[in-house]
Amino acid sequence: MTTRPDPAQGGESVHPAVALVQPDVTSGGRLIRTLGVVTAVCGVLIVAAWQFTLPAIAANKKIVLERSVKALAPAATHIEEYDASAGGLKKAAGDPAAGAVRFYAAYGSDGGLLAIAAEGASRGYADVVRVLYGYRPECECIFGFKVVQMKETPGIGDKVTTDTAFVANFEHLSVKLAPDMKALFNAVKTVKHGTKKNPWEIDAIAGATITSKAVGRGINESVQKLLPLLAPHIEDLKQGNEK
């Protein structure tokens, strides 16, 4: 009790506890140096990890892609990645340039072009629904689609992959180009359940209209961009495997 200082006394001597609490002032130089060293070490760690995992990540992405393309065209033995742009077709390397559309050409064992696959994406109920659709130049139609990524409600939105009536919409979905080759003759459209009349329409799943529409919209947007770029070069592509 007696050792406690009385502030009212206003004594000049500094209490020992106060002297102890006096912070050691760290110099600005040391702070900068510490931060610099830590960030440099962390930078080296990150770059090393990136270099080390890059081949495995690229290989993983390729496996996932080949698996989904093969799910659409099971007879495919060889898959080529291309970028279609106003300047023509180019073998894909890195991310596609602005305005270019990435697509995949699947060839059979005899070297013939089996199908073309490309990705479409549109916002669904929970998040973006990404689909990979298959296109066949002979019939100018889409013959199937697979979901690449979606976070739709289980049991409701995810029915787009399991509902046989909905999946059947895509077995022969017309995507004919207009005579000017600039857009589709009839845009792909998702219609209310039970009202499909035309081959370019998709009959929505009752109760899962938002996800159904996202699939249709994603495909439509992608096809509208890809086909006008692709159409002039389709013959080159058919021979692509022989070159």
User: What does the binding site for another protein look like in residue numbers (CB under 8 A)?
Assistant: 26, 30-31, 34-35, 38-39, 42, 45-46, 49-50, 52-53, 56-57, 60-61, 64, 149, 151, 153-155
Shortest Cβ 120–another protein spacing (Å)? 17
**The two three-digit tokens of residue 201, written as one number:** 């329409």
Q: Which is nearer to another protein, 46 or 178 (CB)?
A: 46
Q: Which is nearer to another protein, 65 or 177 (CB)?
A: 65
Shortest Cβ 34–another protein spacing (Å)? 6
Shortest Cβ 98–another protein spacing (Å)? 25
Shortest Cβ 215–another protein spacing (Å)? 18
Smallest Cα–Cα separation from 163: which of 205, 126, 130? 205
Q: At which residue do the structure tokens 């962390």 appear? A: 42
Contact criterion met (CB below 8 Å) for 76 and 70? yes
How far is the C-alpha of 176 from the C-alpha of 39, rounded, in Å? 56
Quick one: DSSP state of residue 157?
A: G
How far is the C-alpha of 218 from the C-alpha of 213, rounded, in Å? 8
**The two three-digit tokens of residue 98, written as one number:** 């602005």
Shortest Cβ 55–another protein spacing (Å)? 8
Q: Which is nearer to another protein, 61 or 192 (CB)?
A: 61
Q: Which is nearer to another protein, 30 or 91 (CB)?
A: 30
**The two three-digit tokens of residue 126, written as one number:** 């929970």
Q: Which is nearer to another protein, 8 or 21 (CB)?
A: 21
Shortest Cβ 156–another protein spacing (Å)? 8
State how far the alpha carbon of 217 is from the alpha carbons of 137, 191, 220, 227, in Å. 21, 11, 5, 15
Q: Which is nearer to another protein, 35 or 75 (CB)?
A: 35
Residues 6+ apart with CB under 8 A from 78: 106, 107, 241
State how far the alpha carbon of 93 is from the alpha carbons of 5, 64, 102, in Å. 76, 17, 10
